[in-house]
Each structure stands twice: as structure tokens, then as C-alpha cells.
Amino acid sequence: MTKIYLRHALLQTLSLPLICFFLFTQAALAYHHEPSGNHATADIRVTGRVTDSAGTGLPGISVRVRGNSNVGTQTDAGGAFALTVAENATLIFSSVGYETQEMAVNGRTEINITLQASNQILSQVVVVGYGTQRKLDVTGSVVQIKGDELAKQSSPNAISGLQGKVAGVNVINSGAPGSSPTVTIRGTGTVYGNTNVLYVVDGVWYNDVNFLNPADIENVSVLKDASSTAIYGIRASNGVIIITTRRGRRGRVTVNYNAYAGWQSVTHGVKLANATEYATIINELSASNGAAPLFANPGSFGAGTDWNKQILRDAFTMNHQLSVNGGTDKSDYNLSVGLLDQDGNVKTNNYKRYTLSLNNNYSPVKGLDFGIKVNGQYSKSEDIPTTTIFHQIYGAGPVVPVFNANGTYGDPNDYKLGGGNPYNPQATIDFYNQRTQIYSFTGNAYAQLTFLKHFKLRTSFGGEFVNGEIVGYVPVYRATLAQQTTVSTLTKTLNQARNWIAENTLTYDKTFGSHKVTVLLGQTAQRYQNYNVIMSAQNVPAGAQNSYFSLGNNFNITDNGTNGTSLNTFSSYFARVNYAFEDKYLLNASIRDDGASQFYGNNTYAYLPAVGAGWVISKEGFMAGQKTFDLLKLRGSWGKVANAGVPYNITIPATTTTPQLVAIFGSPSTTFIGTNVNTIVPPSISIERATGTDIGLEGAVLNNRVSFEIDAYNRETKNAVFPIPVLTSLGTTGTVIGNQADIRNRGLEVAVTWRSKDQQALRYTISGNLGYNENTVLSVLSGRNPIYAGGGGLANGALATRTIVGESIGSFYGYQVAGIFQSAAEVAASLQTTAKPGDFRYVDVNGDKVINGKDRVNLGNPNPKYNYGINTSFSYKSFDLQLDFQGVTGVSVYNANLAFRFGNENFTKDFYDNRWHGAGTSNTYPSANIGSTANSAPNSFYVSSGAYFRLRNAQLGYNIPNAFLSRWKIQRLRLYANAQNAINIFKYKGFTPEIGGTPTNAGIDNNVYPLFATYNFGLNVTF
């Protein structure tokens, strides 16, 4: 007990009264339970240490007493344990990955024991849907990653670290503080609505897990094939990632403190033309437009303003996490608090996140367990206009000074730059006064009853309550002609999510001789509701972030019906049988029946079966003599999954009421609310379903030092739901949603891991993975008619992608450039008679002697064909080193920035250096008039390879020797240095080759957050 109070005192100094209170109750609980036990014989206190064959202390080893499940503990981080037991008791030491050993106490007070590593591959347990399974028994494709491995990447977001770790999992990270990565598992099979993977955190379903502190994660399980995900039914189409958070370990209280600090810097900022170059090329643009030069003497401007340097910075990041965990034989807890303070690469941008996580479990009597898992998050972001600021930096004229000599902002209007770039980016961020705060509370409570030995009844209720608040205040100011206002405006956006999920499962688990059977029955209900309200008022006094709308006038309120407000419910039943015979023949089968409120009548429900079979060849008699394979297993699976990620009430035609439809009549003018119908809904819509098959071969050779896993898969999405543009002559806005297409993803995955021997001084693990995916559209509803999209961010909204039978989703589509017109004579002799010298010369693909829309062709595929990773970790004495490499190839990106021009925007240095500016100067880059309609039409010039290879993560750690630590009562102190994306190799010339986007608009670089690297120094301390 003294130890507990000692920690208590320690924590008090850290001013965390909540933890103190919690610890106090835990201590009281521990005290209360201490007397329980068998008093028939004398109890003695046994201490000791559990080590591996190399003598290293093993943490987390379960120490139990045979025949008395009320007594038990786990070893601490150093392998030590302490337990009060009867002097004649027998202790059982067990843990995943080690052979279980028993040891009689025989009155000894100190017991040290060495555990032998078990056949790791055979005994590994992985988390699967609604349970755990031995890896050996799994018949689908499931990859589990330890939380420690992800935490070794010093990323604010837990999922970022998955990049390059798992074959077939494509992760796209963004450097924007507070952002979440985009994850695609085995290719894009879903086009619309919710294209995120499903995250299941301790049983609760989420679209995003930004609220999790990576250090709180015990493990992450990636379910890749349809048979594994099918148990998650309507949310399984895009793959499932199951996250289990850390639990406390029985035994003494452990306090962990993890921290790092470092910086994030833009590694490949787009280099822009300087002022002299800018003035030169703008004069060329004017000449091309038949106008007089804008700048009389380009050379007089010198280098001018480097807007990249002016607005961007190396951004500081700091992260702290403190956790306390422990437990008694009847309860355990893990409490963790975290603080992340991350600056953005754009000046003034800052993101702070405070997290609190509690995982608390009780087992008051044998057979009954209950507990809660709670995550609280508060985040505060000082925002920047994320997309526009990059466009402004890109376009801002370098001839404009940041500030004039008299201290006022440099005004592009003073230089007659026109409407394309009228902003001073410095003024933009100076007067962009917006703060986003998110309060989220997530988690669940569960109770589990084990009865009649083999039955387990579990009920849980969990959910998510999110309250987001965006407050913006535009003061009265005048920076430039285009950046000024005489009326202040206070705006507040409130977002709320109230989601819940209730689940009940009954499990039956029994082994009869060689037969092992597990049966699962379950039922769940879910409800997802979102609200969105936008309020604004004018003339609220300055400094009004905390002020009230009632202090101003012209109050306006919008509850955003089309985007922000929704309500969906789901009701589901599911069942699963796992059967194994002699651990040799495996059979798993499941079915899920899902009902979704978005659908009607016969379309409401989806029945989603799955089946998998496995054959552990290495266990067969005929393999008994061979020495090559320690494990060889062949498995195959088939399953159906679905995606219900479509808007609520999608087939019910709705009216539109917007401010833009308010009519004005009368003298004096009065307003008349306008409501009408300007949308088309599909007559009916059915749930999008996908059928997936997977064949896998798993094996281990060289004494289990090399293990491999090979998968071939095929997944066909039927009736994929997404919106397609409709004829504007229907008079409706935009698109109509429906079951539009069938899509196939098929591919191959290989993962190989090579481990060193446990005993040697230099220990290492090297693993490599490679995923190949081929995305093909099998059919579209419109028959042979393609689906055009990808207009966002392109000048004139030209459509840059096409989805057509036989090609990949959202393939780039446009003209093929043959070269550049060098002279008026060349133009006159060509098919493009209205072109100017310096314009693109397009290929007359169909040979009809006319250059028109019919000459457009497939220009590339934004869906990566290959993604791969090489992950290594080494340890030598007190040092450890982790090097992860990662890349994608077989992918194209579209640089929309180049031609997104409306006037005198700046050009890249690369464009300036290579542009056409007179006969013979270039036959690849066009003239300064690249923004003209003909030149900016989607064409092959804008498409380039998006392949990259990078040193994703490098971390060097050093464990301070115990000799120094013991007198501080520190068990472990590790210092490390970490670098992410330190080395990147790619050819693309835009912001970054790592570009996300919705499936039919993917890979289009339109002012995305630039590629970044992070460098951190950190420490891990365990008390």
C-alpha cells in the first residue's frame, strides 16, 4: 500500500486531482479485496522475476494460482512480480508467445523463472470481429500490429503509422494539424458516401479515430478479406480496423510517461518564380492576350517577395502522455491523459488536443465481468483557410511586398495584378480569426456473464457524443483593396453528433476431444444523428470571440439541412460458427442480417453470409518428417459485405429552401421565402454489396525465423452507389444518386518477416510487404456511357476523370499533347486554327481532322497499383533502431494547380524555366497562356507519375542502464530520436505525390497540404 501512496504523492505534484481521486478509490478497492483468499494455510509473500532465455525481464506475464482464480497478477515492465499466496500453492506463469510453466511455491519467498519462447506463429492470438482467435485458426486475411509499433512513430494520429505496415493497405497522410489519414484497403470498391474503413474501438463503431492517443492503443487488427469483415455487414465494404485500447495489468501500479517534441517542415515546397521572372512571364502573358506589357522593367523588381518563406515555417510539435495502470485480482484500470500541441506549417496555425482515456474492468465474482472504456477529447485549433491559403501563396505576385515602407500591407491592386490574385497572403492569415473546438466523449460500458461453463453472454452499450464549435470573427479592417470590410461579422458553427450502438452477443465455446467449436449469436442496434447550425451577426464589437450575437445586429441562423443534419438507424442480427478438427482442418462460417433506415421495402435488409476453410498442411502425418516448414497452412474464404453509406431518405424527393431562393418584391422591398424542387432522386436504391474471395498461404521456415503470408483476392462490388452528373437541361442541381456501377478489385499480397535468433546480442526483425491491386469497372448503369467527374479545382470546371467499363475508377481523361505550336505558320497548317503559338498541339486521335471532345483518351490511373513497405527493427544492448521504408508505384496524379488561373497568378520556377517563349524554346511546356481554355483543358501535360519511395520512419532509441535508474525508482528510461519522411524520392513537381480525394476525383493536386517531414526527440519513462 505504501507504494501506492507514494505514487499518489508523486502524482499530486503533477496537479492531476482526477488521477489522485481515481487512484485513491483503486487503493481503497485493493485494500478491501486484500483479505480475500484461502486462510486455511499460512499465506506468504512471494516475489520474483520472469525472464526469457536471454535473461531479459518479461513484462505482462500472467501469474496465477492453480485452483484459485481469485489470486493472480502480472509481471511489471522489468519482469518482476509480487503475490501473496498460500505457502503450498502452485503458480502458473503464462503469456502469449511463451510456453506456460508451473512452479510449486513450497514455502519459498523468491521464485525466479525462465520462460521458453513458444512457437510464436502457432500460438499468436489475433483480434477478429466480435472476439479473438488463434492466428492458426483464422481462415481469412487478418494482420495484427502491436500498439507499441505504431507508437514508435511519434504521429499524432494512430492510423498514420499503418502506412507501409500492411500489404494492401494504402494510407494517405496529410500534414494539416488535426487531420486524419485516408485509408484504403485492397483498392477502391466504394465510390460514394462513407468510403472510410470502419474503425471498431473496444466494440464501438467509428468513421474516424482522431480522438485516440496512439500511446493508449494495445493493438490494431486489420481485417482485409470479405469473410473476416462480413460479420460487420453494412459497414464492412471498405475493410475493418479493430482497435483495442490498453487495459491495466494486475499487480503493482505502473506509471508511464511518454513525451516527444520536435518539428514538422515542408520538404518539397513548390518553388515559385521570383519577382523578375514573374514580371517577365506576365508580360509574355499580356502579349499573348494582345495587351501591352504590365511591367515596364521586370528587372527592377529583383527577387521580390518569397511568399512560401513568408507564410510557411518549420512547425513545432510537442506531445505528452501520462498513464497509470494497475489492478487487483478483481479489477484493473488504465488511466491515461495526453496533451498534443502542434503548430501547422502555415504561420498562425496551431492545434492542441487533450485526451483522457480510462479503461476500467471489474470481476466481482467468478463469471461476471463488467467495465467501462471511456475516451474524452478536447481539441482547439487556431485555423487557417486551409485550401485557399496554399492557392494564395502559389498565386501571389512576388512583385508585391509583404508590407509597404509605411507599414501598410502590400496591395496587389497597386501593381494592377487584377482579379486572379488580389490577395496579400500575409493579410489573409493575419485577419483570419477562426477557432475550432471539439469536445468529444466516446466509449462504452459492458457486462459479461459466463455461465454453464461454456456460455458467455455479453451486452454492451457505447457511443459517441461530439460537440464541435467553430467561431470566426472578421473585424472591421482594411489591408488591401480586396481584403477589407467596414462591417464586422461574428460567425459560429455548431456541429453535434450523437451516436450510439448497443450489442448483445452469446458465445458458446467447447472442445470435445479433437473437435473445437465456437458458436456466436448476436444482435445490435445503432443510431447516428448529426446536427449542424450556423449563426452569424454583424457589428459585434471587436475582441468578440467570447462575445454574444445579441451585441450586434442582423442576426442570421441556418440549420444546414443538406449537409450537416442527418439521422440513420441500423438493426442487425448475426451468427458465426468456428470449427477446428485436430487443429488441422478449419471451418468458419457466419451470416449477418442488416437493416438500414436509408433503404425501403425489399431493399431495407441485406443478408451477408461468409465462409472460410483452412488446412494446416504442416500438421499432416506426411509432413511429420520434413524439416523445411515449421508451419504451412492453406486457407480460402468467400464472403459478402455491404455498404450503406448513403444519405438518409435518399429516395424521398425533398424540397429545397435556401436564402438564394428568397424572392424580393414590393416597394419598399420585402422578402418572400422561396421553396421549390430542384433535385432528382432515384426511384429506388438498393444496398451496395460486394463479394470477396481470398486464397492464402501461410508458412514459417528456418525454425520459425522466417514467416510468410501470400494472398490472392478478388472483390466485386455490385450496384455501387454514387452520384453521377445528369443533363443540366433537367434543371436540377448537379447529380443523381443511384446504383451505378460494378467494380472489381483484384490483387496479390505478399508479406515476409525474418527474425533474428532470440539469444544473440544483435537482434532484428526485417519484414517486407507488397500489395498489387487492379481496379476495373465491370459495368456502369448507363451502359457504355462513361461517368465524368473531377471538375473541382480545374479552371472552367472541365471534367478531368472518366469512369468507364474496362478502366479504373476515375481514370484521368483528356487530350494527348503532341507538342507546342512554334509559329503562326504551324498553327495555320494545323487542325487548331484558333490556337496561338505556344499553345498545346493536340493529337487528332480519331483522325477525323477535327480536334474536339472525341479526341480525348485515358491519361492515367489515380488508383495505385503497387504499394509496398520494408519495415526493420534492430536492437543491440541498450540501443534500438527502427527503419521503415514505404512507397507506391503504378499511379498517376493530375497537377491542377498549373492551369488553375484566372489572371496574373504566379508561375512555378520549373514552369518559368521551361516555358515556351518564342519559336524553338520548348516543345513540351506551353507559353505563359497555359490558363487559356484550350490549354487548360485536361490533357497529358498535367498528368504525371505519382510514384514515390521514402524513408517513412526512422527511430533510434537508447535505454538508460538500470544502474542509473534504480536510485530514482525508475524501471525504465528510454530516449529516442525520430524522423518521418526524412527521405523522399519522386519525380512529381506539385505539392506532394500523396494526394487523396473521393474516388472519382482522386489524385487531383489542387492546393493540397505540401509534403512534410517531422523530426522528434522523445523519452519513455516507466515508474
Please report, as residue ranges, which positions from 717 to 736 form the binding site for other proteins (by CB under 8 A). Answer: 725-733
Q: Which of 789, 652, 642 is nearest to 717 (CA)?
A: 642
Binding flag, residue 285, other proteins (CB under 8 A): yes
d(CA 440, CA 365): 33
Label each residue of 599-614 as H, E or C: CCHHHCEEEEEEEEEE
Binding-site string for other proteins from residue 419 to residue 438, where x marks contact by CB under 8 A and - marks none: xx------------------
Q: Does 365 bind other proteins (CB under 8 A)?
A: yes
Regarding 132 and contact with other proteins (CB under 8 A), the answer is no
Of 55 and 67, which CB lies nearer to other proteins in the complex structure?
67
How far apart CA 399 and CA 415 sit, in angstroms, is: 8
**Cis-peptide, bond into residue 668, ω within 30° of zero:** yes
41 binds other proteins (CB under 8 A): no
Q: Taking contact as CB under 8 A, which single stretch among the options 278-286, 352-360, 390-398, 757-765 is the one that binds other proteins? A: 278-286
- Rank residues 94 and 569 by Cβ distance to other proteins and give the closer one: 569
Using rule CB under 8 A, residue 678 touches other proteins: yes
The number of residues that bind other proteins (CB under 8 A) is 117
CB of 395 to other proteins, least distance (A): 12
Query: DSSP string spanning 954-972?
Result: EEEEEEPPHHHHGGGT-SE
Looking at the Cβ atoms of 338 and 595, the one nearer to other proteins is 595
Stretch that binds other proteins, among 218-226, 397-405, 520-528, 906-914 (CB under 8 A): 520-528
d(CA 975, CA 959): 6
Per rule CB under 8 A, is residue 297 in the interface with other proteins? no
What is the C-alpha to C-alpha distance for residues 160 and 952, in angstroms, rounded to an integer? 10
* Surface-to-core class of residue 366, CB atoms within 10 Å of its CB (0-12 exposed, 13-18 middle, 19+ buried): exposed
Instruction: Answer yes or no whether residue 923 interacts with other proteins by CB under 8 A.
Output: no
Q: Is 860 left (phi over 0), alpha (psi -120 to 50) or beta?
A: left
Applying CB under 8 A, the span of 620-628, 659-667, 698-706, 879-887 interacting with other proteins comes to 659-667
Least distance (Å) between residue 785 CB and other proteins = 5
Between 44 and 470, CB nearer to other proteins: 470
Q: By CB under 8 A, what part of segment 395-414 binds other proteins?
A: 413
Those residues whose C-beta lies under 8 Å from the C-beta of residue 40, and which sit 6 or more positions away, are: 86
Residue 799 identity = L
Query: Minimum distance between the CB of residue 892 and other proteins, rounded to whole angstroms?
Result: 21
Q: Whole-angstrom Cα distance, residue 726 to residue 736?
A: 7
Nearer CB in complex with other proteins: 580/799: 799
Q: Which of 792, 790, 793, 782 is CA-nearest to residue 809?
A: 790
Candidates 124, 267, 387, 485; binder of other proteins (CB under 8 A) is 485
Q: Which stretch binds other proteins (CB under 8 A): 43-51, 80-88, 177-185, 482-490?
A: 482-490
Binding mask 850-889 for other proteins (x = CB under 8 A): --xx------------------------------------
667 binds other proteins (CB under 8 A): yes
Q: Does 762 bind other proteins (CB under 8 A)?
A: no
The half-sphere exposure of 848 on its side-chain side, counting CA atoms within 13 A, is 8
Task: Quote the least distance from Cβ 798 to other proteins, whole Å.
Answer: 6
Using the contact rule CB under 8 A, the part of the chain among 177-185, 507-515, 591-599, 619-627 near other proteins is 591-599
Q: 909, 873, 893: which is closest to 993 by C-alpha?
A: 893
- Cα(117)–Cα(95) distance, rounded to whole angstroms? 10
Grid cell in block for residue 415: 501593381
Mapping DSSP onto H, E and C, the string for 508-551 reads EEEEECCEEEEEEEEEEEEEEEEEEEEEEEECCCCCHHHCCHHH
Closest CA to 105 of 65, 68, 76, 73: 65
Which of 1, 40, 664, 963 is the binder for other proteins (CB under 8 A)? 664
Nearer to other proteins, 535 or 883 (CB): 535
Q: Residue 911 CB: number of other CB atoms within 10 A?
A: 20
Pairing of strands 240-245, 198-201: parallel
The residues in 533-552 that bind other proteins, with binding defined as CB under 8 A, are: 536-538
Quick one: 242 or 285, whose CB is closer to other proteins?
285
- For other proteins, the binding residue among 543, 666, 847, 920 (CB under 8 A) is 666
Answer yes or no: are the C-beta atoms of 230 and 590 closer than 8 Å: yes
| Per CB under 8 A, 553 contacts other proteins | yes
Assess 582 for contact with other proteins (CB under 8 A).
no
Residues 900-919 that bind other proteins (CB under 8 A): 902-904
Binding test (CB under 8 A) with other proteins, winner from 388, 523, 776, 962: 523
| Bridge partner list, 636 | 613, 695
Give, as ranges, the residues between 443 and 472 that touch other proteins (CB under 8 A).
447, 449, 451, 457, 459, 461
Q: How far is the CB of 910 from other proteins (least distance, A)?
A: 20
Distance (Å, whole) CA 1010 – CA 347: 14
956 binds other proteins (CB under 8 A): no
Kindly state whether residue 1004 participates in binding other proteins, applying the rule CB under 8 A. no
For other proteins, which residue of 42, 296, 407, 416 counts as binding (CB under 8 A)?
416
CA-to-CA distance for 699 and 697, rounded, in angstroms?
7
Q: Can residue 785 be called a binding residue for other proteins (CB under 8 A)?
A: yes
**Spatial contact of 86 and 41, defined as CB atoms under 8 Å apart:** yes
- Residue 9: exposed, middle, or buried by beta-carbon count in 10 A (0-12, 13-18, 19+)? exposed
- Does residue 367 interact with other proteins by CB under 8 A? yes
Q: Which residue has the cell 487488427?
A: 221
Q: Is 234 in the site for other proteins (CB under 8 A)?
A: no
- What is the closest distance, in whole angstroms, from the C-beta atom of residue 675 to other proteins in the complex? 4
Min CB(46)–other proteins separation in Å? 25
Footprint of other proteins on residues 190-219 (CB under 8 A)? none
Task: Assess 607 for contact with other proteins (CB under 8 A).
Answer: no
* Phi and psi, residue 39, nearest 5°: -100, 5
Q: Extract the runs of DSSP E, i.e. beta strands, from 549-602.
A: 553-559, 566-581, 585-596
- Classified as helix, coil or strand, 38 is coil
